[in-house]
Amino acid sequence: VRILDSTLREGEQAPSVTLDFGQRFAIAQKLDQTGVDFIEVSSIVSADHRALIGELCSAGLHASVVAHCRAIESDIDAVSGDCPGAKWVAVFISTSDVHLDNKLKISRIEALGKISRTTAYAKDHGYSVRFTAEDAGRTDRKFLAEACMAASAAGADRISLPDTVGSMTPDAMEGMVAFVRSAVSTPLDLHCHNDLGLALANTIAGLASGADCAHVTINGVGERCGIASLAEVAMALQTLYGVETGINTENLVPLSKMLAECSGVPFDQFTPVVGENAFRHKGGTHLAALLANPESYEAFAPERVGNSRRMVLGEHSGKNVVGFLNDKLGIGLDEGGIEKTVARLKDKRRDLFEFSAQ
Ligand code: HCA
Ligand code: CU
């Protein structure tokens, strides 16, 4: 499974996520060290973005840089003019009737023409080309297959099938991918929005059904509720499916913090994998079991993702954790002293302190 990170394209479409040139470059380098296969950057937002693509292409990254453009010849010209060394372009055009009628105001036939022409145009300019059928999730199945066949015939190297408004179920995603798979053999990307909290589930369903590249962003940032997050996709694939993504998972928390610091947009403490609470435990029975074996209440070890385990003490605590600290710190309480301490913790009716427990 390949991972495409779109923090510098989709991610920057999130309100408040704005980065300067240096921050974008540093994030791309860190993403590269983390092992993503593709780094996507918008080529249509500004000359600054195109300059970034050029710089990244000559920086000797392992990841391929993808210049995201509309299915318009002049967008491709801008990449060839301003982004020396660029190898991949993505050309996107909507295929759903709601977008064709209201946004592009063109017919399906006209859309097919644009798909063929711009894909061929980008190929003629020597690029590897990804065609994106924007709003694939709401596109008539037969027409989606036709659009993909047109892109494929014009030489597309990959096809992206986005759930642009996050309105698909995992079953629908499986069906869509299987249907397109039966029409073209071009490798497929998935790009799942999180409007109903199903981005991760839909991404996994699509991969299981034959797609081989997942679009993600750091902290899941993107338009509206964002898309699937790098940390969740990488860890779900590794721990639940044993799928190798090539992601150095110890970088996940540092990357999340880096984006939060650069953009000023924090991530919630309850965020899976990278959130402050992901390995922070509180219930008395939980702490007792964790002290015997951390696996009791953890799906995977915090060190694997650059996170750390913490135990919170207060009215929920019991004898086990107090006894543990008593031994660890050599406080020397006897059984009665431990019981008294537990009673006093309960009296306070709140969390009193926490300690790290690696
Ligand atoms: C966009 C739409 C997009 C494209 C996804 C892709 C979507 O903002 O351009 O190119 O794979 O969600 O459909 O992000
Ligand atoms: Cu998107």
- Ligand 1 atom closest to Cα of 161? 11
CA distance readout (Å), 9 to 31, 175, 198, 215, 222: 14, 28, 21, 11, 8
Rounded distance between C-alpha atoms, residue 232 and residue 271, angstroms: 9
Give the pLDDT band of residue 176 (cuts 50, 70, 90): very high
pLDDT for 348 = 83
Rounded distance between C-alpha atoms, residue 1 and residue 243, angstroms: 7
Rounded distance between C-alpha atoms, residue 345 and residue 328, angstroms: 18
pLDDT for 357 = 81
Give yes or no for residue 191 CB within 6 A of ligand 1: yes
Best CA proximity match to 162, nearest among 140, 193, 205: 193
CA distance readout (Å), 95 to 102, 111, 196, 238, 325: 12, 7, 22, 33, 61
Best CA proximity match to 251, nearest among 27, 24, 4: 27
pLDDT for 144 = 98
pLDDT for 33 = 98
Ligand with minimal distance to 137 CA: 1
**Taking the CB of residue 85, how many other CB atoms lie within 10 A of it?**
12
Q: Which residues contact 174 (CB under 8 A, 6 or more apart)?
A: 205, 206, 208, 209
pLDDT single digits (tens) 79-134: 999 999 999 999 999 999 999 999 999 999 999 999 999 999 999 999 999 999 99
pLDDT for 5 = 98
DSSP E strands in the chain: the ranges are 2-5, 38-42, 64-70, 88-94, 128-134, 158-163, 188-192, 213-216, 280-281, 310-314, 351-356
pLDDT higher than 80, residue 358: no
Mutate which of 3, 5, 10 to test ligand 1's pocket (most atoms within 8 Å of Cβ)? 10
134 CA to centre of ligand 1 in angstroms: 6
Query: Which residue owns the Cα nearest ligand 1 atom 5?
Result: 162
91 CA to centre of ligand 1 in angstroms: 10
Rounded distance between C-alpha atoms, residue 313 and residue 182, angstroms: 56
**Taking the CB of residue 296, how many other CB atoms lie within 10 A of it?**
14
Phi-psi region at 24: left, alpha or beta (left = phi > 0; alpha = psi -120 to 50):
alpha
pLDDT for 125 = 98
37 CA to centre of ligand 2 in angstroms: 18
Give yes or no for residue 134 CB within 6 A of ligand 1: yes
Percent of the chain exceeding pLDDT 70 equals 100
Query: Which residue owns the Cα nearest ligand 1 atom 12?
Result: 164
pLDDT for 26 = 98
Q: What is the mean pLDDT of the chain?
A: 97
- Ligand 1 atom closest to Cα of 191? 11
pLDDT higher than 90, residue 12: yes
Query: Which residue owns the Cα nearest ligand 1 atom 10?
Result: 132
Give yes or no for residue 90 CB within 6 A of ligand 1: yes
Give yes or no for residue 209 CB within 6 A of ligand 1: no
**127: helix, strand or coil:** coil
Give yes or no for residue 70 CB within 6 A of ligand 1: no
Q: Are 67 and 47 in contact (CB under 8 A)?
A: no
Rounded distance between C-alpha atoms, residue 305 and residue 225, angstroms: 23
Phi-psi region at 38: left, alpha or beta (left = phi > 0; alpha = psi -120 to 50):
beta
In the predicted model, what is the mean pLDDT of residues 192-217? 98
Q: Which amino acid, one-letter code, is at 293?
A: N
Q: Which amino acid, one-letter code, is at 56?
A: L
In the predicted model, what is the mean pLDDT of residues 164-177? 98
Say what the pTM is: 0.96
Q: Are 269 and 219 in contact (CB under 8 A)?
A: no
In the predicted model, what is the mean pLDDT of residues 313-323? 93
The token pair at 220 is: 């899941």
3-state helix, strand, coil in the chain (%, to 5): 50, 15, 35
252 CA to centre of ligand 1 in angstroms: 24
Give the pLDDT band of residue 350 (cuts 50, 70, 90): confident
pLDDT single digits (tens) 102-113: 999 999 999 999
